Structure 1
Amino acid sequence: MSEALSGRPGVKTEYRRQIRRSVMMACLCGAALAAPTRAPAQEAAADAATPPAEGKQIYNAADFARFAPKSALDMVREIPGFVIQASDDDRRGFGQASGNILIDGKRISGKSNDAEAALGRINARDVVQIEVVDGATLDVPGLSGQVANIITSVDGLSGNFRWSPEFRTRQTESRLLDGEIAVTGRSGALDYSFSLSNLSARLGNDGPEFALDGNGVLADLREESLTWYQDTPRAAATFKYVTPGGSIANLNLAYARYYFSAHEESLRSFPGTVDRRRDFYDREREWNYEVGGDYDFALGGGRFKLIGLRRFERSPQSQRVFLAYADGRPDTGTRFDRDTDEGESILRGEYRWRGGSADWQVSAEGAINTLDTVATLAELDASGAFQPVPLPGGTLEIEEKRGELALSYGRAIAAGLTLQSSIGGEYSRIIQSGAGGLTRTFYRPKGFVALAWKASPRLDISARIEREVGQLNFYDFAASVNVSGGTQNSANPDLRPPQSWNGEIELNRSLGAFGSLKARGYARLITDVVAQVPIGATGEAPGNLDSATVVGFDWNSTFNFDPLGWKGAKLDLDLSFKRSRLRDPLTGEKRPISEDLAHELIVNFRQDVPGTDWAWGAEFEHYRQTAGFRLDQHSRFLTAPGDLGVFVEHKDVGGLTLRAGVSNLLDSHERLYRTAHVGRRTGPIAFYEERSRGWGPIFAFTVRGSV
């Protein structure tokens, strides 16, 4: 997907929030809907789970009745204090289990088949119960902290659907085609699902930008606007077959398109300069597919699982910038094009068995990752035609062949205390062609030790120490240009995969009828961290620095007001802090990792009004990231004061759930401050840029249903 608007962090941040929430806050126009009284059997159920059984928190359908869920995803999102871990399509191969969702005790099959997609296809009526347990107590190596296991029973055909139109008051056309429809069923021993979805975005903002010279004197005034259109239609199918002997086969198929277009218009004028109009265009038309599956069967005294995957992506991208002058001089412009093919093939085998009081697993994995990219650069001549400009390192073929072997061990070592561990190693060979091409071989140790302690019926404590090998972004090897921000990366064939020691401790505390809370602290010691490094006398590119440290804290809690007499009301609080440090390659001073999370706050209030099918609520979100650093400039992006929205929801309009509301009630603006230097950041200041852009209120509406 396009990285062209890396100089536009505000829009990227806004879209990140849209992905994480299927619907933004929505307008109060739903108040005109009829409000039939809910039958007594449907009255609000307690948010607290059934009392723990064998270290598990058990949630049944009645615990979610007040929310009228349509899918398993709707149910999991309402588990007190529980947050679904975001999927990571870029993780290194399959490795051991990750995330915090299991379905019928098994990790989700496939790679792009992420947790939210898989849960969204399961009808709420097919969920028998949800078990929340510490992952280190399970016989699934790699899991730690709170894990939700969704127990299902599919009988016949069922389906879910969602439609989420959105309407903005400034700069952007309406979003009308965001939604999903999924069908699941069972025929004999075969479970199947089919889904069609489109993740759509219609984003935009506008406002002034001020350019100042190196002395801080105003030198240019600009009125700017940006529109961002994106659609990702996707078709997917999953099949699961259980043989009479208990063998389990899964097959996952997916095909998707990615349509992206952006346009930034900048009208520029200032006394003593020629009036100008700058237009920037960014476009990408991608298609991709994934075919994956696994087969799990009894072998000897244990079980063997064979996993395979093939993914491919073709991504043609184009950026163009034009400057037109009011005095009639010829237009100037730059064009950057890049055509890329990416591939990934994985074969993995896992054999697990019970030995005495311990669970054992030995695993082996082989993978081949490839990238073939051709990038070109051109400048507009006086006749209006683009003429090629040399771009050394823009064309690249790279292949990584990787293999890993691991042995895992888990057992209860005392009453309420469980150990899980793994030790292994990885071999990788990176082969790249083109200018300065290299072939390099790496051997890396990896593994972890995790402990889970049931300190009391209401308190779980888990700890984990891990040695991790990171994944390289193959795009970082090739030369690239961002014509919007006016920056360029040289080719760098000498990138090494980062490694880190990771440690974390997590506490999960049940508050009974009052709710629950989770607190997690973590730290990372990274070697060969990837950051911008000097290339030659004037160039720069992603490269490796010796080390970096990261510490962070996450808090997730749900507080129910029912015991205080405010029936049906609850408050969810999610809070994250992160601090990172590395040594700047130019100044030698310590600074944060570029454009990393600094803190994030999400406060969500909801009341399901007793005796009715109505719910209402509000949400506030505030996000902050660290400064961005290149070798010739640094920038700071802020969004203030934060996103506040309100919503109203009716849970039974002809069997549908309708939600409507409005967000950005505080009129948040993105603000960007950029300082560019002559040569390196240690040289004199060339200019400053300051901008403020707003996007106004956002009205949204969501229809959800199931059949």
Structure 2
Amino acid sequence: MNKRLAATLLLTTAMVGWVSTAFSAEEAATDSSIVIYDKAYFETFSPVTLLDMLQAVPGVPEILSQNEQQARQAQRTGGGGQRGFGSGGDQILMDGKRLAGKANNINDTLSRISASQVNHIELIRGAASGLDVQSQGLVINIVMMEGASTSTTFWQVKGEWTQGHKLVPEFLVSHTGSAGSLDYTLSYEHKNNYFYIDSTEKFFDPQGNQKATQYIDNASNRFSDAFNTNLSYQFEDGGRLRLNGLFEPGGQKGDETRDKTSDTLRPVVWSTDRDADKWEVGGDYTRSLGFLGNLKSLFVINKNTEDYLVDRFKGTGTEKYEYTKDDTNLYQAEKIFRGSITKGITDAQSIEIGGEAAFNKFNKTFDSSKRDNAASALTLSTSDNVKIKENRYEVFANHSYNISSAIVLQSSITTEFSKIVADNILAGGAIDRRDTSFTYIKPRFNLRYDVTDRDQIRLLAEKKVSQLDFNNFVTRFDQQEQKLKPGNTQIRPEQTWDFAFTYEHRLPNDAGSFEAEVFYRKYTDHIETVDFTNYVDFNHDPITADAFFALPPDTALRDYVDVTGEGFSAKEGNIPKANAYGAKVKGNLRLGFIGVPNATLSANYTFERRRTTDQFTGLERNFDRESDHTWSVNFRHDLPEIKFTYGFEYTARSDYARYYIDYYWPNNPAPNIKLYAEKTVFSDYKVRLEAEGLNKKRGQSVYWLYNEHIRFDDLKERQEKLFKRPIELRIFIQGTF
């Protein structure tokens, strides 16, 4: 890793002089940490939407990709992710403010705004006062046009063809207008997100003899109809009110076929049917309070409901019967209110004082029924019913101090108070209640030092506290592992101390930039899978896991533990401590100096070593599902004379592993490459083509399954899995009128 960093530093240093005069500079603000891209800059790229404009700014596509991945992760986890707002947030702001929405996220909004409505885009590096979020890295602030009466309609039609499957359509229409002090946007989008998995699994006994092969074919579609609205009104007294709303009914349907050569009845089919509805209303209001300062207030109210049914069948024809049925119901609601007042203390200092309240409800039930043969009836085998209420309050003070023209210090202190009441509704109606209160003090210090107009150093020290994933409170079926995962209502929030040192160098005339960061993270109450087995000695008295496995091997004692209580059991829980350290290197470079004008190459590399103690083996290991190395490369080349753009995106990660009480599962993921090309026609229309999955691989893994507990070292079987993916081709046609 050190050799890679050294090589990158030397290469970047050597190129500075070569490219320093090859480009015209963008407009620079008075603050050297801010670079402004005005409308004249974007005329070269013929953008149709705001998203097109951002894609043409070096360094921004990586942030857009990261936001998209986080949105997909939040969609998959349901109850996971951050609740409330906090001081962090999107790295993309509009008029210095974040969008007052959670489900109604910023990435979706960007694709609905016409490029003609944008005045300019600011890239802000490091600590800066007056923004809605605190950031250690790059913040993008989009400044909209004001005072003009406009009316624009944007439309987009998308078709996605997946190898071996049909063409799937999607479409979006959005109308934006203004009248006097009122700006508004209305939009409708029909989404079809098809997902296909094709894998082959080979099964081996402990002696290494192959005993079966399984072929898996999964076709699933997430679909929805999203209705959005955004309103903004400028009052005569300088106050501004923004409101946004979302209503999105949808669902998921899919079938997974598992054909295993050793099964008596073949194949096994898992049929999924999910109905989902979500709505959200959010808004913010800002105005000057004179000598008191500036008022900022935000609110969000949302609700999400899901009914998730999985039916599993064996056999075909007259032999086919349903052997299990899983029924999951979710009700999730959140109300967030945040307000603050910002006041200048001196010409160089300002302070923001405020508070936030978030009220959450999370009700989830899981019922699993099964039967052994077609002649018997389905009977309830597992049931879990959890109702959760969380009230969380924050009071905060943020201080910005421009120590000199080159040094800015941001410091903040946030105190969080939360109360969680989790009721586990037992059979017969009895309630097992967990009533817990937490108080956390979260300081943050962020120093920015502009060594020169092109060199910046940033220092960060910050205490963070995670929001709990309420899905971990409820039993669920893990489809990949084919296991029931019991819930745990006793999980505590994870605490982290983050320390980071960052150096950034910007080449002259906006020719590119290079950034290197080293960091260290210290975790307390780290959330991982924990052993919940009730171990006993030969007298059936409780003992620790280490004491149990130190006893002489005894089949009778092992069987007693297996059949008593929950048996050999694992759940999500807390580990006292863990740590992580690493480095990030990223850069972007315009390639005009090698004869490729209007071309940009961006690259990112992250090394992060996360270390914790495995709760089943006692050995030190990496975090579950986390890679030590990640890479990404983006290339974009614009040909303005013919209004044509092409490029590629490459992402990869190193090996990672999954850990559980009875398995070890190392994975080797395949890299992903996306190619694209787009052509602007008649100024207001654009055609874009994308190709993805060209290597036809998702990765491969080896699954080591043990009897009862991995520490017995009693191998049950080994599975070799090969995951494939079909080629995906997409066409987008979009325009404005």
Q: Same fold (TM over 0.5)?
A: yes
What TM-score does the superposition give when structure 1 sets the normalisation length? 0.87
Distance (whole Å) between structure 2 residues aligned to residue 48 and residue 259 of structure 1: 49
Q: Which amino acid aligns with 1:49?
A: E
Q: Superposition pairs for residues 326-345 of structure 1, below 5 Å? A: 331=321, 333-345=323-335
Q: Deviations over 1:619-653 (max 9, x none)?
A: 3332346211121112233333x333433322225
Aligned pair partner of 1:61 in 15, 35, 39? 39
Aligned pair partner of 2:652 in 622, 643, 666? 622
- Which residue is equivalent to 1:230? 222
Matched, 1:473 2:448: no
The secondary structure found in structure 2 opposite 1:197 is: strand
Distance (whole Å) between structure 2 residues aligned to residue 346 and residue 503 of structure 1: 29
Gaps in structure 2 of 5+ consecutive residues:
1-21, 75-80, 427-431, 534-566
Q: Deviations over 1:227-279 (max 9, x none)?
A: 12112321111111111001111211111123212321122225xx6462111
Q: Which amino acid aligns with 2:245?
A: L
Residues 1:681 and 1:48: Cα distance change in structure 2 (over 3 Å)? farther
The Cα shift of 1:589 comes to 0.9
Whether the 8 Å CA contact 2:644–2:679 is kept in 1: the answer is yes
Matched, 1:137 2:155: no
Q: Which amino acid aligns with 2:159?
A: P
Distance (whole Å) between structure 2 residues aligned to residue 564 and residue 192 of structure 1: 45
Whether the 8 Å CA contact 2:398–2:411 is kept in 1: the answer is yes
- Which residue is equivalent to 2:178? 186
Aligned pair partner of 1:279 in 260, 266, 269? 269
Distance (whole Å) between structure 2 residues aligned to residue 123 and residue 507 of structure 1: 35
- Which residue is equivalent to 1:35? none
Matched, 1:175 2:168: yes
Aligned pair partner of 2:55 in 73, 77, 80? 77
The Cα shift of 1:594 comes to 1.0
Q: Which amino acid aligns with 2:203?
A: A
Higher helix fraction (1 or 2) = 2
- Which residue is equivalent to 1:320? 311
Aligned pair partner of 1:124 in 115, 122, 129? 115
Q: Deviations over 1:586-630 (max 9, x none)?
A: 111111111124433222323223632223333333234621112
Distance (whole Å) between structure 1 residues aligned to residue 285 and residue 683 of structure 2: 42
Aligned pair partner of 1:562 in 566, 570, 592? 592
Distance (whole Å) between structure 2 residues aligned to residue 108 and residue 275 of structure 1: 53
- Which residue is equivalent to 2:415? 425
Matched, 1:530 2:527: yes
Distance (whole Å) between structure 2 residues aligned to residue 682 and residue 47 of structure 1: 64
Distance (whole Å) between structure 2 residues aligned to residue 608 and residue 91 of structure 1: 38
Residues 1:625 and 1:121: Cα distance change in structure 2 (over 3 Å)? farther
Aligned pair partner of 1:382 in 367, 373, 379? 373
Whether the 8 Å CA contact 2:126–2:458 is kept in 1: the answer is no
Matched, 1:293 2:283: yes
Matched, 1:495 2:491: yes
Distance (whole Å) between structure 1 residues aligned to residue 735 and residue 376 of structure 2: 53
The secondary structure found in structure 2 opposite 1:116 is: helix
Distance (whole Å) between structure 2 residues aligned to residue 361 and residue 255 of structure 1: 33
- Which residue is equivalent to 1:613? 643
The secondary structure found in structure 1 opposite 2:44 is: helix
Distance (whole Å) between structure 1 residues aligned to residue 478 and residue 415 of structure 2: 38
Distance (whole Å) between structure 1 residues aligned to residue 372 and residue 514 of structure 2: 62
- Which residue is equivalent to 1:599? 629
Aligned pair partner of 1:268 in 260, 264, 269? 260
Whether the 8 Å CA contact 2:100–2:299 is kept in 1: the answer is no
Whether the 8 Å CA contact 2:636–2:648 is kept in 1: the answer is yes
Residues 1:180 and 1:52: Cα distance change in structure 2 (over 3 Å)? same
Distance (whole Å) between structure 1 residues aligned to residue 675 and residue 86 of structure 2: 41
The Cα shift of 1:428 comes to 1.0
State how many pairs are aligned.
Answer: 656
* Higher RCO (CA < 8 A, seq sep 6+): 1
Q: Which amino acid aligns with 1:53?
A: T
- Which residue is equivalent to 2:609? 579
The Cα shift of 1:484 comes to 5.6
Residues 1:198 and 1:416: Cα distance change in structure 2 (over 3 Å)? farther
RMSD: 2.4
- Which residue is equivalent to 2:26? 49
- Which residue is equivalent to 1:633? 663
Aligned pair partner of 2:143 in 142, 145, 151? 151
The secondary structure found in structure 1 opposite 2:108 is: helix
The Cα shift of 1:439 comes to 0.7
Matched, 1:651 2:677: no
Whether the 8 Å CA contact 1:459–1:507 is kept in 2: the answer is yes
Gaps in structure 1 of 5+ consecutive residues:
1-44
Whether the 8 Å CA contact 1:185–1:192 is kept in 2: the answer is yes
The secondary structure found in structure 2 opposite 1:404 is: strand
Q: Which ranges of 4 or more aligned residues in structure 1 deviate by more than 6 Å?
A: none
Distance (whole Å) between structure 2 residues aligned to residue 196 and residue 165 of structure 1: 17
Distance (whole Å) between structure 2 residues aligned to residue 325 and residue 114 of structure 1: 44
Matched, 1:698 2:722: no
The Cα shift of 1:574 comes to 3.0
Aligned pair partner of 1:666 in 669, 691, 695? 695
- Which residue is equivalent to 1:28? none
Distance (whole Å) between structure 1 residues aligned to residue 299 and residue 502 of structure 2: 33
The Cα shift of 1:329 comes to 7.1
The secondary structure found in structure 1 opposite 2:127 is: helix
Q: Superposition pairs for residues 177-256 of structure 1, below 5 Å? A: 177=170, 179-256=171-248
The Cα shift of 1:671 comes to 1.7
Q: Percent identity?
A: 22
Q: Which amino acid aligns with 1:382?
A: N
Matched, 1:401 2:391: yes
Matched, 1:109 2:100: yes
Residues 1:645 and 1:351: Cα distance change in structure 2 (over 3 Å)? closer
The Cα shift of 1:190 comes to 1.2
Residues 1:48 and 1:127: Cα distance change in structure 2 (over 3 Å)? same
Distance (whole Å) between structure 2 residues aligned to residue 453 and residue 257 of structure 1: 48
Whether the 8 Å CA contact 2:323–2:378 is kept in 1: the answer is no
Q: Superposition pairs for residues 345-384 of structure 1, below 5 Å? A: 345-356=335-346, 357-383=348-374
Whether the 8 Å CA contact 2:123–2:139 is kept in 1: the answer is yes
The Cα shift of 1:585 comes to 0.8
When structure 1 is superposed on structure 2, of 683-692 and 552-561 the one drifting more is: 552-561
Whether the 8 Å CA contact 2:46–2:683 is kept in 1: the answer is no
The secondary structure found in structure 1 opposite 2:103 is: coil
Whether the 8 Å CA contact 2:100–2:300 is kept in 1: the answer is no
The secondary structure found in structure 1 opposite 2:237 is: coil
The Cα shift of 1:330 comes to 7.5
Residues 1:47 and 1:475: Cα distance change in structure 2 (over 3 Å)? farther
Distance (whole Å) between structure 2 residues aligned to residue 487 and residue 399 of structure 1: 28
Whether the 8 Å CA contact 2:322–2:374 is kept in 1: the answer is no
Q: Which amino acid aligns with 2:161?
A: F
Distance (whole Å) between structure 1 residues aligned to residue 24 and residue 328 of structure 2: 51
